[in-house]
A and B are shown apart, each in its own frame.
Chain A
Amino acid sequence: MAELNTTAHVSGYVLASLMFHHFNRNSDVEGFLVGGIKTVAKNSITDSQMDGVQVEYTIDIQKHIPCSTVHSFYNYVEINKEVLKKLLSCHKEQNVIGWYRQRRNTEQVMTFRERLIHQNLQKCLSNQELVFLLMTSSAITESSSTHSLEYAMYKLQGSCFHKVPVLVTNLGIVDQQDYHASSIACSSVGYTRVVKKLRSKYFNTDGSLKEVCRINEMSSALQEELKETCGKVEESERSLEKLLDEVNKLRKTVKEKKKLCMQTLEEKKCKKPKTDENVLLCQALQKLFPETKTLQTQTISLEGAPLPAYTCSADHGIDISEVLPLLLADKEENCESDTERQLEQSGSETEEDLLDPLKIQMASSHSPTF
């Protein structure tokens, strides 16, 4: 009977890089995991069974592809295949082994949306072994002196998500055997003769070991390679830094200019056309009909009746006798006019009583009603 053990391996460099990417964003981050899958079957013979098979299924995460923004490759839960294709264009589909999400101050549990996205991604990438890495971070003390970063890997098996243990590969995993500081005591003549005969295959004339020299060469060459690649990274980081600075300044300038344009547009919209008062007419009406407030108002009610309460009583400084002499001359002639007397009479009627006749007159008004 085969026993299946699944583990995920990730190097400290990849894990730290994931954390670094999240620290530089103030929102959740997402991306894809690239790597490979290794399956090793081991036969084990025990007292209880002759044909025990242990299958070691190792998911090896070698790098991550961060998405520039969150929700970039899906619309709610539907995968945007074009965006996905563009994101993964530099990698073979079979090397994409999973995706990841990093969140702050949330539980280490897959959300319903994440589950659906995962299922849809599996169909899109035709990979039933797709994994999901969830990383969550939070402060665990009130003073924010201590923080925790949790990580767990999920895999869909049937209709349920199961957790896969994640192993961070490091130097300490491999057994570091100790050096021996004392000699092996052996007085055999034959033993000494064989060792002496083959000694030159292992030792240089100066007593150093040939394999030690070879491995030192390998190690130095690797360090040179590291130094050179580090130089390339340093150069590209500085270029990126300079460009980011320029783009951030441009973004800020464009944003400010857009804000200014919007403000100017708003101001223009808000400015209502000022209804200039016809001051000449107002002054003339004040002069001709001083007691008739209904003629001195520009404001009418919803029913269309003039409102005396909004009378303009301001002196506009216009001398009507000079500007409209004929108008005043006409008034003097008709100073006993019936119309003015009727309007002058003030009784005990209320404003509404006075306005009622006007309302009846305006009953046939064509003003829209709501």
Chain B
Amino acid sequence: MAVNAVHLESDAFLVCMNHALSTEKEEVMGLCIGEVDTDRIAHIHSVIILRRSDKRKDRVEISPEQLLAEMTGRPMRVVGWYHSHPHITVWPSHVDVRTQAMYQMMDQGFVGLIFSCFIEDKNTKTGRVLYTCFQSVQAQKGSEYERIEIPIHVVPHETIGKVCLESAVELPKILCQEEQDAYRRIHSLAHLDPITKIHNGSVFTKNLCSQMSAISGPLLQWLEDKVEQNKQNIAELQLEKERLTLELTDLD
């Protein structure tokens, strides 16, 4: 395999998890940004949330052209992709393995991450989130591909990076754009009667309201809480800094 392990920074993990937990009705996906070092360890510093070309609920991929455009259009290096498996097993499907193999043709160090969420054991009333990392290799028999495991470690990153923050707040924008595109396509149908148009307008309103209450609202609350928490942490750290400076002077 071209990659020995993946080190995913915790703030990048946070954005992936936010994205994966945003909906249980369909799979979501994004790209992993970072670099591969000389020990063939892929370091993922941030992620980018993507709009999907294929909006089927159980299929998520972007075309190689779209991927290449994303890869070349950005100053940072794309080292992998991630997607979610809501209510289903964390292991990649044969389509996922084939998609990964296709991406590896462009970059053999490209890795795939899958986040399985909304798994609930009704008997034990325990919820679960799983994440895995993989690459694809040609199967020994036949022309199919098979999965190979890549060790993944989430490494600490005390603060949230700028790119991660920007990616996190991109989600409501993307969802809104997707909904506006769907509505525009429907509204442009000239033959629709007024009642149907009003109905469609209500559907649009309802969908946008769902996005605002389920995504924008909780996201805004989390950001505001983070500002407050950071204020407290900064105040405590400031006190500790003064104390340590005094201690250092005494030791000198």
Contact = CB atoms under 8 A, between A and B. Distances in A.
B144 interface: no
A147 B248 CA distance: 42
A149 B251 contact: no
B14 A16 contact: yes
A331 interface: no
Contacts of A219: 176, 208, 211-212, 216
Nearest to B230: A236
A68 B236 CA distance: 10
A217 B210 CA distance: 15
B21 A147 contact: no
B251 A152 contact: no
A225 B212 CA distance: 12
Given A171-B211, A172-B24, A178-B203, A141 B149 contact: yes
B240 to A, nearest CB: 6
A151 B126 contact: yes
B245 A250 contact: yes
Contact of B201 (A212, A227, A234, A258): A212
Nearest to A151: B127
Nearest to A22: B10
In this complex, the member of B126, B153, B160, B227 whose beta carbon has the largest number of chain A beta carbons within 10 angstroms is B126
A140 B152 CA distance: 12
Contacts of B37: none
B53 interface: no
A172 B23 contact: yes
Interface stretch (B43-51, B101-109, B186-194): B186-194
B223 A169 contact: no
Given A218-B212, A223-B216, A246 B226 contact: no
A199 B194 contact: yes
Interface stretch (A7-15, A266-274, A358-366): A7-15
B206 interface: yes
A180 B200 CA distance: 6
Contact of A13 (B90, B149, B156, B219): B219
B194 A176 contact: no
A211 B247 CA distance: 64
Given A152-B127, A172-B26, A250 B244 contact: yes
Contacts of A168: 21, 24, 117-118, 127
A188 to B, nearest CB: 12
Interface string A52-74: 00000000001100101000000
A261 B251 contact: yes
B33 to A, nearest CB: 17
A172 B175 CA distance: 12
A226 B210 contact: no
B153 A144 contact: yes
A209 B197 contact: yes
Given A13-B218, A230-B223, A233-B223, A257 B127 contact: no
Given A13-B18, A16-B17, A165 B201 contact: no
A143 to B, nearest CB: 5
Nearest to A64: B225
Nearest to A7: B125
Given A170-B24, A219-B208, A184 B245 contact: no
A51 B189 CA distance: 49
Contact of B13 (A15, A20, A181, A238): A20
A145 interface: yes
Contact of A152 (B124, B131, B218): B124
A23 interface: yes
A122 B98 CA distance: 53
Contacts of A15: 17, 21, 129
A226 B216 contact: yes
Interface in A190-246: 195, 199, 202-203, 208-209, 211-212, 215-216, 218-219, 222-223, 225-227, 229-230, 232-234, 236-241, 243-244, 246
B196 interface: yes
A226 B86 contact: no
A63 B225 CA distance: 8
B43 to A, nearest CB: 15
Given A19-B14, A163-B124, A239-B234, A179 B25 contact: no
Interface string A140-173: 1101111111111100000000011110111111
- Which 3 A/B pairs are nearest by Cβ-Cβ distance? A12-B21, A172-B25, A145-B149
Given A141-B149, A211-B202, A233-B227, 15 more contacts: A11-B214, A11-B218, A13-B221, A26-B156, A145-B134, A148-B129, A176-B210, A180-B200, A216-B208, A222-B172, A229-B223, A233-B223, A234-B162, A236-B231, A240-B230
25 contacts: A13-B219, A13-B221, A19-B13, A66-B229, A145-B134, A145-B150, A151-B128, A152-B124, A152-B126, A171-B175, A172-B86, A176-B25, A179-B182, A179-B186, A181-B186, A203-B194, A203-B197, A219-B208, A223-B216, A234-B165, A236-B230, A236-B234, A238-B159, A239-B230, A240-B230
Interface of B: 10-11, 13-14, 17-18, 20-26, 86, 90, 117-118, 120, 122, 124-134, 149-162, 165-166, 168-169, 172-173, 175-176, 180, 182-183, 186-187, 189, 191-212, 214-216, 218-231, 233-234, 236-238, 240-241, 244-245, 247-248, 251-252
